[in-house]
Amino acid sequence: MAGRLILEDARRAPDGIDVQMSFDDLGTNLRDVTFVVVDLETTGGRPGAEEITEIGAVKSVGGTIVGEFATLVNPNQPIPPYITVLTGITTAMVMAAPRISRVLPAFFEFVGNSPDTVLVAHNARFDIGHLKAAAAALDLPFPRVMSLDTVQLARRTISKDETPNYKLGTLSRVIGTEVTPTHRALDDAKATEELLQFILGRLGPLGVSHLEDLKTITDAVPYRRRKKAHLADGLPRTPGVYRFIGPSGEVLYVGTSVNVYKRVRQYFTAAEKRTRIGEMVDLSVRVDATSTATKLEAQVLELRDIQTFDPPYNRRSKRPDKRPWLILTKEPHPRLSIVRSVAADDLPNALGPFTTWKSAKKAKDLLERVTHVRTCTPRLPLLPPPSARACSLLEMGRCSAPCVTGEPQEALDRAGRVLSGLVDDAVSHTMANLRLMAEREEFERAADERDRLAALVTTAGRKEQLTLLSTNAELRAARPVDHGWEIIVVRWGRLVGSAVAPTIADVLSTANTLAASSPAVDQPVLACGAAPIEEMEILYDWICSSGTRLLTSPPEPFAVSRRSPQRFSIDVER
């Protein structure tokens, strides 16, 4: 059995978990990368129009050369005199050499096709451009490897105060390579390989230790930010939550990832494009993290952390607890009212939670017009005084005027059905109004009415989803993943446990152990009060995803009504 409980306190140290990660998730250390440094001699500068006359390459791993490739190539044309002067290669020298059709497949075999191989050249646009043009002419697939240009790397690591230019011969003299470039392919490839190792040595203190770092190193990133890459050292390479901490110990930003270490390192490279987040990284002094058993657990913990710490650089989910509801007031002649919370016992007779107070107001306006429930705010006595007078809404047929009749409002039953989630009548009534407005070309009014209907229907669907979770004392569910089965335990809509079982045979025993060791949750006093609304929405989507199985029969059926408001879809312009 593998797994552990979710951490209720985000600052506690994580327990061990058993989650199988791929090598792609972990990243490739530069010590394990195969570098193939290549240099070409050609009859001219234009790839495709000119021919290759010599290929030289060296293969190295961990700074040690493990292979060499060198051959002249017959270009099937005379070598121009100025090329002979530059390289020393004459037409006579290449007459007996193999043609490119024989050389290129052998060279590609030397390079290999591993994702952990990097093809390196000094001015890679020239060398790799010629290789690709030759491959295209021969209809050969080019190796699917990363390419790297030592000219660009040198510009990032060797200042202009150290070298007058970035030609290979100049850089070779500056750093003192053992092999001197001679404009012959193998010598130049060996010199370039020494230059590469020099550059990697300079990049190490900047936090460039993995292949993934090299992919963005040539992009402009402030030195102070790249130097902070060590803040990711020691972070878990598993699903989890990370927190960037400011100079006073405050939480600046909370995020989540399936591989915390890999994700945090990206903040110190050009992969991070957001200016505001870059500012946050510059302020940070450390990164804390909590490892989790599953991605779902990490998402939930992220929401809780954002609610707890209110990080200044998180733009979303800051106050998930501030969600309004729509109810009928408890008085002799009720009216619709927007409130901040609802008692759990009143959940069947309340509509919510709405995403914003504005959307709650839209639904309230629509429901008042559809049902004709009273809209005046004074608290009315059961029996009206003799001096009571009705307002104009009575004459307009939009209110039964209980203020003067003392009779119960017939509209209350219609309003109560909608609040309970039965929105069919409201949808039919509003759609008829929308068709009429469209015929009259009252498009702005129709758009407002559509938005009011969308607020009503969407929230009714949300209430149905959350009710299924928040009214069940416990739910256990499992879902298949690549490395086994993810298992969760939910109590009153709150995630209390998450684990991974390696095989389907271990699912029930893992779920039982997880449930037995998960923290208890008291039945909430408020509707949907055991967890943030966004947490329950994430859990609902997870439980309803393909392949998920309920492991227990909950006291309240986990099923959607045939008259579910979720069957309606109202498109709203964003």
- pLDDT digits 0-9 by tens, 367-402: 988 888 888 877 877 777 776 777 766 666 667 667
Cα–Cα dist 384/9, whole Å: 56
- Across the beta sheet with 240-245, the strand order is 251-257, 240-245, 286-291
- Model pLDDT, residue 375: 81
What is the mean predicted confidence (pLDDT) over 48-74?
94
The conformational region for residue 166 under phi > 0 = left, psi -120 to 50 = alpha, else beta, is alpha
Residue 123 or 217, more confident: 123
- Model pLDDT, residue 219: 61
Q: Mean pLDDT of all residues in the chain?
A: 86
CA 38 from chain centre, in angstroms, equals 37
pLDDT band at 129 (very low <50, low <70, confident <90, very high): very high
- Model pLDDT, residue 244: 97
The candidate with the shortest Cα–Cα distance to 216, out of 301, 300, 156, 140, is 156
Phi, psi torsion values for 498, nearest 5 degrees:
-145, 135
Cα–Cα dist 176/533, whole Å: 64
- Across the beta sheet with 484-491, the strand order is 2-5, 494-501, 484-491, 475-481, 549-550
Task: Tell me the three state secondary structure of residue 379.
Answer: coil
**High-pLDDT (> 90) share of the chain, %:** 61
- Model pLDDT, residue 105: 96
- Model pLDDT, residue 15: 39
pLDDT over threshold 80, residue 557: no
CA 112 from chain centre, in angstroms, equals 32
Q: Which of 117-131, 237-251, 308-322, 419-433 is least confident?
A: 308-322
- Model pLDDT, residue 6: 36
Say if residue 353 is preceded by a cis peptide, omega within 30 of 0: yes
pLDDT band at 4 (very low <50, low <70, confident <90, very high): very low
- Model pLDDT, residue 20: 37
pLDDT band at 57 (very low <50, low <70, confident <90, very high): very high
What is the mean predicted confidence (pLDDT) over 423-433?
91
Length of the chain, please?
574
**High-pLDDT (> 70) share of the chain, %:** 88
The candidate with the shortest Cα–Cα distance to 4, out of 527, 503, 486, 551, is 486
- Model pLDDT, residue 501: 95
- Model pLDDT, residue 573: 55
Cα–Cα dist 330/338, whole Å: 13
Cα–Cα dist 277/313, whole Å: 7
What is the mean predicted confidence (pLDDT) over 544-557?
82
pLDDT band at 26 (very low <50, low <70, confident <90, very high): very low
- Model pLDDT, residue 319: 55
- Model pLDDT, residue 22: 37
Q: Which of 73-82, 203-212, 474-483 is least confident?
A: 203-212
pLDDT band at 430 (very low <50, low <70, confident <90, very high): very high
- Model pLDDT, residue 395: 63
Strands (DSSP E) along 73-211, which ranges?
A: 117-121, 146-149
pLDDT over threshold 60, residue 274: yes
pLDDT over threshold 80, residue 303: yes
Phi, psi torsion values for 465, nearest 5 degrees:
-65, -50
- H-run or E-run covering 230: none
Contact between 412 and 373 under an 8 Å Cβ cutoff? The reply is yes
Distances (CA, A) of 555 to 348, 471, 512, 531: 17, 9, 17, 19
Q: Is the pTM of this model over 0.75?
A: no
- Model pLDDT, residue 394: 65
